[in-house]
Amino acid sequence: METTLIILKPDAVQRGFVGRIVTRFEEKGLQLVGLKLTTIAKTTAETHYAPHKERPFYPGLVRFMTSGPVVVVALKGVGAIAIARNLMGATFGSKAAPGTIRGDFGVSNAYNLIHGSDSPEAAEKELGLFFKKEELLDWTPVSQEWTYDMTGPKPE
């Protein structure tokens, strides 16, 4: 099982898509282990997007991510990172396939609704940036036996 970070960006919150987006992850079988409505401090946004610091879009991205409330979500499941990224769709809503979050709700190349960790290393770093350890719950949903084949040595 792996855990990933999802951020529902200010545009997703402002447009009222929080419930619909979280539902997609739950319906797919990913488990909520952390969820909170917050605003991102400028220093946190700068740290989170530091790999893009030299890119021309960086100042606008930091400004956007601190412009209003966001919802940060920790999701757990087998292959959670790849599954979440597939559900999100291509980065730009104008290019995202129908059936994906960005494909169904987005048209902008600047406002793309959602962020998801792109690797286990990024997920670990990002989860630590947005959640305290005690805010991530360790629990087993009763539906887990019906989501994964649990008869072998590892869930499938």
pLDDT digits (tens, 9 = 90+) for 12-52: 999 999 999 999 999 999 999 999 999 999 999 999 999 99
Q: Is residue 44 part of a domain?
A: yes
Instruction: Look at residue 27 and give its three-state secondary structure.
Output: helix
Catalytic residue among 24, 48, 102, 115: 115
Provide the β-strand partners of residue 116: 6
Percentage of the chain modeled with pLDDT above 90: 96
Phi/psi region, residue 79 (left: phi>0; alpha: psi -120 to 50; beta: rest), is left
Active site residue 52: no
Q: Which residues of 50-84 are buried (b: 16+ CB within 10 A; e: fewer)?
A: eeeeeeeebeebbebbbeeebbbbbbbbeebbebb
Report the mean per-residue pLDDT for the chain. 96
Is the pLDDT at 109 greater than 90? The verdict is no
pTM: 0.95
* CATH code of the domain containing 130: 3.30.70.141
Q: Is residue 25 part of a domain?
A: yes
Residue span of the structural domain in which 131 resides: 2-136
